Amino acid sequence: MSPAPGTPVDALIAKARDRSAIFGIVGLGYVGLPLAMELVRAGYKVIGFDVNQRTVEGLNAGRSHIQDVPTRAVADAVKAGKFSATADLSRMGEPDAISICVPTPLSKTKDPDVSYVLAATESVKKTLRRGQLVILESTTYPGTTRELMLPALESTGLKVGVDFFLAFSPERVDPGNPKYNTRNTPKVVGGITPHCRAATVALYQPAIDTLVPVSSPEAAELVKILENTFRSVNIGLANEMAIVCDKLGVDVWEVIEAASTKPFGFMKFTPGPGVGGHCIPLDPHYLAWKMRTLNYKTRFIELAGEVNAEMPEYWVTKVADGLNDQGKAVRGSRVLVVGVAYKKDIDDIRESPALDVLKLLQQRGASVSYHDPHIPTLKEDTLDLTSVPLTAETLGRADCVIIVTDHSTVDYGLVARASRHVVDTRHVLPGRTPA
């Protein structure tokens, strides 16, 4: 179905073609800021919206707070007049397209917390005008775009697909990935109507190498959840295999490496201290929650979640066993945690298993410290710590060292030489197997 000349969708597509469209990005974090910079690079003018005044002021001064976005990129965009940030949500009527990139955490009962999405939708609703496109990027459960956002936006009297446009396009950010970024990671798009999808594809096309249109927002919402559920389930299997191998006296890493030589039918996943970040620990629970409302239990999802959540306790028990071998109790022992980011070479601690490891050790009475070149200070719940230098002296003072995050810049040879006992959750020590 082609848009009629002169219609709002036709006008949006024309603005995409000549880059005269103005983009609004709501939420300038790990998802929003990289997207904003790619849109600027494609030739668009971008207004960034964020409720954190400190973030806004820093960006307008040309400073990046996101590791994957160089400060030079922000400074150049601001200087060229192509990017500005604001905390004034009443300006949402200015952009032609608005991408919502706000957090979607889980509540303590593992239910989706869509309060940030609802707040952003309410702000958009207040200034929604004819010809605007609204794109939700935040990962959420299937039905969010149609069931929560659409009624709110249509309550203005504007009709979706005719007067304004609404789509879901899940973020696929992988912080710290040196190969795949916002531009070269294929982007899935599902619109409420064909015109919604067409407008979204047209506007993103200059900034994203490959776009993957799907039939509906629900399909797009499920794509993101499937991707991370796939990873969660397979990581859960690898973690359970680590426990199985431990009980059988077999090296799990040897088994995985040998299995990965099969050229078909096997995909390599490795065990570790648990899973972290905003996606893998959370996204599968969105689907599990949605299916519970339909009286269906997602057994694979829930089992994988249980296995992965238990891994910090498993590794803390390994620390206790290692201390016991030295004739020491956990209580009163000095334990140094190496790496607290949720994965290597990034500065993000969201849902990091290291936080659970530290808290569990504290609860057992250990004196804990940590080293992480990317996280200078750590203030989270009961934790209030500062990263210590990784030297022979700090390693030697520790009764046990546990490697939780395998940052590339860490001298693991020094860790192996200078430590009394090491628990290696990532299999990074030279010539050694995990404790």
| Alpha-helix residue ranges (DSSP H) falling in 81-160 | 115-127, 144, 150-154
Residue 15 burial class via C-beta count within 10 angstroms: exposed 0-12, middle 13-18, buried 19 and up: buried
CA distance 76 to 68: 16
101 assigned to active site: no
As separate numbers, helices (DSSP H) first and strands (DSSP E) second, the chain gives: 15, 14
Pairing of strands 45-49, 22-26: parallel
What residue type is assigned to position 101 of the chain?
A: C
Taking the mean position of all CA atoms in its chain, how far away is CA 289? 19
The encoded tokens of residue 418 equal 């200078």
Contact between 112 and 141 (Cβ < 8 Å)? yes
CB atoms within 10 A of CB 192: 23
CB atoms within 10 A of CB 183: 16
* DSSP β-bridge partners for residue 49: 26, 86
Contact between 27 and 51 (Cβ < 8 Å)? no
Which residue among the candidates 101, 196, 279, 400 is catalytic per the annotation? 279
CA distance 188 to 147: 20
DSSP line for 165-220: EEEE------TT-SS--TTTS-EEEEESSHHHHHHHHHHHTTT-S-EEEES-HHHH
Q: What is the dihedral of CA 398, 400, 402, 407, to 10 degrees?
A: 30
Place of tokens 């949500």: 89
Known catalytic residues?
279
